[in-house]
Amino acid sequence: MDLFGVKRLKKEKKELEERISELENEIKELESYKKRWEKEKKRYKKAVTEKQEAYEKINKLEDRISTLKDKSGKKSVEENFSNGFRKVEGFKIRKYLESLNKLEIKNATTVYNPAEKAFFDKKMSEVVLYEPFMVKSVLKTPVPLEHGKFRSDSFFLDSLMDKMDCRTLYIHFSIGGSGVGVFEDMELVESEIIVSDIKSKHKKGGYSQKRFERIRNEQIENHVEDVKEVVKGFMGKSFQQVVFSGKVGSFEKVLPEGFVKTTTGKGKVRDEGDLVDSFGSGMGIYIKSITEKDAKRLENVLD
C-alpha cells in the first residue's frame, strides 16, 4: 500500500528522467544536423560565389575580345551605356540566358515588367533576375513583355526566350542598302536584300548642285518605295512579331499595329550576312548589375 504516493512519484521521476535522456539525444542529433547544415550553407555560398566570379571573368574576356575586334573604329557589338547598362547583341545574350536557365539555385526571383511598369527606364520592357548569392541583374529588351513574378529554384526565362526565338519579320531600313527577312529560333529562314545606287553628296555649288540633289532625292524615294513593296510582300507570310530598325517615316503605313522599333549600330545591308548581324544587334539586350541601392528600391518586389 502506497499511503503517501511515493511509488507513484518515483515512477513519474523515472519516466521524466527517461524523457530527459530522449530529449538530450534529440538535441544532440539536431545539433549534428545544424552543424551539417552550416557546412552545406558555407559550401553552397562558396560555390555560387566562385561561379559568379567565373561568369564575371568570362564577361570581361568577351568584352576584351570585342574591344580587340573593334580596333577599326566601328561600333562594338557590346556598347557601354549610361546608368550602368551595356548592350549585348542577341546571339550572345541568348547563350547567356540558356546558361542561366540551367542553373539550379535556391530563392531565384524573376520579375517581368512591361515598359510602363519598368523600374529602370520606361522606354523598354525589363526582366529582373535576383538570387541573393549569385545573380542580381536587370535586362532591358525592345520586345514587349507582360507583367509577371516567379519564385522557384531556377529563373523563369521562357517568356523572354520565346520572344527571341519566335518567328519574327525583321526589317532593316537604310538608304542604299536595306534587308527584309524572317527569323525563327534566331536563324534566318527567308530574306530579300534591296540595294540601290544612291549618289554620294556633291561638293560643287550652283545649278549642278541643285540637279545633283534632285537626282539623289529621287533615288532615295525610289529605294524607299522598293523596300516598302518588299515589306508588303512579306506581310502575307506567317510570323508572330515584326521588328523594325531604321527611320520609320512612311513605313508606318505598311507596318502592322504593335510592331517593335529597335536600333542597331549597322549601316547599309548589302547581303544576308549583314542582315543577320543587324538582327543580332537589333534583338540585343541592355544589362546591368543590381547595386545595393537598386536592391533597396526593389525590396517590396524581391521579398
Owner of C-alpha cell 573604329: 73
pLDDT value of position 91: 87
Residue 27 in any domain: the answer is yes
Q: Look at residue 109 and tell me whether its pLDDT is greater than 70.
A: yes
Is the Cβ–Cβ distance between 249 and 275 less than 8 Å?
no
pLDDT per residue over 230-283, tens digit each? 999 999 899 999 999 988 887 888 898 889 999 876 788 999 999 999 999 999
92 plus 124 within the same structural domain: yes
Q: Look at residue 86 and tell me whether its pLDDT is greater than 70.
A: yes
Residue 279 in any domain: the answer is no
Residue 146 in any domain: the answer is yes
Q: Look at residue 300 and tell me whether its pLDDT is greater than 80.
A: no
pLDDT per residue over 55-67, tens digit each? 556 555 555 555 5
28 plus 100 within the same structural domain: no
Residue 48 in any domain: the answer is yes
157 plus 175 within the same structural domain: no
146 plus 219 within the same structural domain: no
* Domains: count for the chain: 3
The radius of gyration of the chain from alpha carbons, rounded to an integer in Å, stands at: 30
Cell of 219: 533615288
179 plus 267 within the same structural domain: yes
Percent of the chain having pLDDT more than 90? 35
36 plus 79 within the same structural domain: no
173 plus 221 within the same structural domain: yes
In sequence order, which ranges of the chain are alpha helices (DSSP H)? 6-69, 90-102, 158-165, 206-234, 272-282, 292-297, 299-302
Residue 203 in any domain: the answer is yes
Is the Cβ–Cβ distance between 123 and 117 less than 8 Å?
no
pLDDT value of position 7: 73
238 plus 201 within the same structural domain: yes
35 plus 121 within the same structural domain: no
Q: DSSP characters for 124-183?
A: SEEEEEE-TTS-EEEEEESS----EEEEESS---HHHHHHHHS-EEEEE--TTEEEEEEE
174 plus 269 within the same structural domain: yes
Q: Which CATH number belongs to the domain containing residue 182 in this structure?
A: 3.30.420.60
Find the mean pLDDT for residues 90-112: 85
pLDDT per residue over 119-177, tens digit each? 887 889 999 998 887 788 999 999 999 999 998 888 899 999 999 999 999 999 998 89
Q: Of the candidates 181, 221, 232, which has an alpha carbon nearest to the alpha carbon of residue 198?
A: 221
Which is more confidently placed, 173 or 28?
173
Residue 63 in any domain: the answer is yes
Quote the mean pLDDT of the chain.
Answer: 81
66 plus 100 within the same structural domain: no
Domain interval for residue 36: 1-74
30 plus 104 within the same structural domain: no
Residue 280 in any domain: the answer is no
Q: What is the largest CA-CA distance in the chain?
A: 136
Domain end point (choices 29, 48, 74): 74
Q: Look at residue 93 and tell me whether its pLDDT is greater than 70.
A: yes
